[in-house]
Structure 1
Amino acid sequence: MSIQDQIKAKLKDKNAVLVAHYYVSGELQTLAEETGGIVSDSLEMARFGQNCDADIIIVAGVKFMGETAKILSPEKTVLVLDDKATCSLDEDCPIDEFSKFCDQHTDRTVVVYANTSAAVKARADWVVTSGSALTVVKHLHEKGEKILWAPDKHLGNFVQNQTGADMLLWQGSCVVHERFKADALLTLKEKHPQAAVLVHPESPQAVVDLADIIGSTTALINAVRDRKESTFIIATDNGIFHKMREVAPNKILIEAPTMGVGADCESCAHCEWMAMNDLENCLNAIQNKTHEITIEESVAIQAKKSIQKLLDFTA
């Protein structure tokens, strides 16, 4: 029996569901969809887990995604494939330092990106995704509120430029998107003048400035599917190519360059923590109930309030 078949049998036997992020391996993405799970961004992964009737949610992604799933489904068992799989944005925003920062600016509404720990979400007024950040901040700005934003400085800068909101930015960044190089991207654009450039807003401003489309993972996938161009240069984690090829098999996809000072490859945009997810530790998680996510109840309750604001706002 193949390892995929073993996982399928265990999922069914234990009434478990596999939810996978767009950035994990194609094997895990395919397995999630074949077994009635979902491939999506982190919030939709958690919402799917909340709304399904599974007793166990298996999260193929990174730790904060498991925490978000647990926050929305406290009564369910939530397992990640490797609890050492983290996120630089989460690591860049430790709760003790962040709380001090918030305490120094109590006049500001605290808005945090989904790529944060449960404790940081609990300290926030709002949690947003890359797809909802603009609309939420625009709404708050129109109400006259000043924003304290964390943790991604590039996404925060993008939102600030688009909305004109008064935003104080925490200085975190994504190690993958930080690597994209505008000068090399410009050279690549010259080689492929008919290509559309798709950029995730966690990228540096100079890269965002070269984009035809700026958007979340879901928005970039939809752009490849729906736009008329046959070729796309894509500045986000290359794990997304699996879903893009699935929805648009005839399109040509080119990785945006990460070459430049200090680079060790021409294009190496893949999260090392996402890469820690594989079929072997998926099977191990289901069989042995490894890497279970637990969150202090008071933290989970408070974090859910800030997430629920977004869910209600975007409903």
Structure 2
Amino acid sequence: MTNIVTSVEIDAPFPRPPVELTSEEKSKHKNAIKRLLEEHNAVLIAHYYTDPDIQSLAEETGGFVGDSLEMAKFGAQHEATTLIIAGVKFMGETAKILSPEKRILMPTLEATCSLDLGCPIEEFSKFCDQHPDREVVVYANTSAAVKARADWVVTSSIAVDVLEHLAEQDKKIIWGPDKHLGRYIQQKTGADMLLWQGACIVHDEFKTKALEQTKALHPDAAVLVHPESPQSVVELADFVGSTSQIIKAANDLPQQKLIVATDKGIFYKMQQKVPGKELIIAPTAGEGATCRSCAHCPWMKMNALQVLSEVFEGDDKEIFVDEALAEKALIPLEKMVNFAKTIQSEVKSNI
């Protein structure tokens, strides 16, 4: 059974895109950042959805590129005393919760997420209190406060496994905040779920009719879709999965053309894995389209080289999480990490 929860309207202005840099300016900023990382015993950790310049710089300097959970785990295990998180604010908070002894900096703390904005703790907590018989499972794309209210935190790569585990125990679920991912999980697991009505502005804009037209133009292409996309888009997919799963599928699938319905920042890593394949971004235009994001998160785009080079300037770049709140949020995060380790162990034992 799936029930729908009233959504919270988001009325937040989109950030301005960063100023385009010349090749010379990019090189200057990169050299400055490399020097600063060494001077401050810092490591750069970037999300798949940041711009290629940021991802390549992370790799060049011994940092990391991955999804939100992989980013936090890498930071916790790295010897650096300062972590530079290139992504959106909830990722910096997660890194701080898992590495409280480390200094967590971000190019800008204004980089947020529509899922986070659409799930304010006051409204979400009030709803949870109305259904005390349900386990609260929240997506990683949420604030530290929402995580602290949850029984479980999940990423898209592990969400189906966790909810299947809970469904087998006849647990009733409150899910937040992404409605599309929640619906996808419910269909895969049969779990009894109440869905908070949040959505990612990037994935919510992929258009069914336009995607059908793109498939008609490229009948030999495989369609890869992130489950944060609308159900009608998911139904057109040859593969549905998280960012890391999509990258793996790009390599595993035999098709030489791939139509990809997720943030186009992922193309940097995908092209590394499958340099000989043609990557086509799924369309966000079509009837009723607003194309506010045009397949690239405007907040992720704020992680530009020029602001990254200023990350050690001023006192408005550091992530802080209230200690008591962090302790509460750590509990569901550790449950997810431990559950993931169990799954990995089971996979290895079956090989």
TM superposition score category, shorter chain reference: over 0.9
Residue number among 86, 91, 104 corresponding to 1:78 in the alignment: 104
Distance 1:54 1:116 in 2: 26
Distance 1:176 1:150 in 2: 17
Residue number among 308, 320, 339 corresponding to 1:313 in the alignment: 339
Query: Which residue of 1 is the match for residue 225 of structure 2?
Result: 199
Pairwise CA distance, 1:290: 4.1
Distance 1:72 1:84 in 2: 21
Distance 1:180 1:228 in 2: 24
Distance 2:315 2:38 in 1: 15
Pairwise CA distance, 1:266: 11
Read off the aligned partner of 1:284 and give its amino acid letter.
E
Which SS does the other structure have where 1:156 is aligned? helix
Pairwise CA distance, 1:228: 1.2
Deviates more, 1:239-248 or 1:89-98: 239-248
Distance 1:290 1:212 in 2: 44
Query: Which residue of 1 is the match for residue 195 of structure 2?
Result: 169
Read off the aligned partner of 1:161 and give its amino acid letter.
Q
Residue number among 302, 309, 332 corresponding to 1:283 in the alignment: 309
Distance 1:15 1:3 in 2: 18
Distance 2:200 2:172 in 1: 24
Query: 1:84-120 CA distances to partner (integer Å, 9 max, x unpaired)?
Result: 1100000000000010010001100000000000000
Gaps of 5+ in 2: 1-26, 342-351
Matches within 5 A, 1:39-58: 39-58=65-84
Check conservation: 1:10, 1:287, Cα contact below 8 A: no
Query: Which residue of 2 is the match for residue 88 of structure 1?
Result: 114
Check conservation: 1:62, 1:274, Cα contact below 8 A: yes
Pairwise CA distance, 1:286: 3.1
CA RMSD of aligned residues (A): 1.3
Residue number among 219, 223, 237 corresponding to 2:245 in the alignment: 219
Residue number among 261, 270, 274 corresponding to 1:244 in the alignment: 270
Query: Which residue of 2 is the match for residue 234 of structure 1?
Result: 260
Check conservation: 1:7, 1:286, Cα contact below 8 A: no
Read off the aligned partner of 2:237 and give its amino acid letter.
A
Distance 2:147 2:90 in 1: 10
Query: Which residue of 1 is the match for residue 34 of structure 2?
Result: 8
Q: Percent identity of the aligned residues?
A: 58
Distance 1:267 1:92 in 2: 16
Distance 1:33 1:52 in 2: 14
Matches within 5 A, 1:61-140: 61-140=87-166
Distance 1:186 1:261 in 2: 13
Distance 1:267 1:36 in 2: 30
Query: Which residue of 2 is the match for residue 181 of structure 1?
Result: 207
Deviates more, 1:86-95 or 1:263-272: 263-272
Check conservation: 2:202, 2:293, Cα contact below 8 A: no
Read off the aligned partner of 2:333 and give its amino acid letter.
I
Query: Which residue of 1 is the match for residue 234 of structure 2?
Result: 208
Query: Which residue of 1 is the match for residue 48 of structure 2?
Result: 22
TM-score normalised according to structure 2 size: 0.88
Read off the aligned partner of 1:175 and give its amino acid letter.
I
Pairwise CA distance, 1:289: 5.7
Check conservation: 1:155, 1:203, Cα contact below 8 A: yes
Check conservation: 2:41, 2:80, Cα contact below 8 A: yes
Deviates more, 1:196-205 or 1:239-248: 239-248
Which SS does the other structure have where 2:223 is aligned? strand
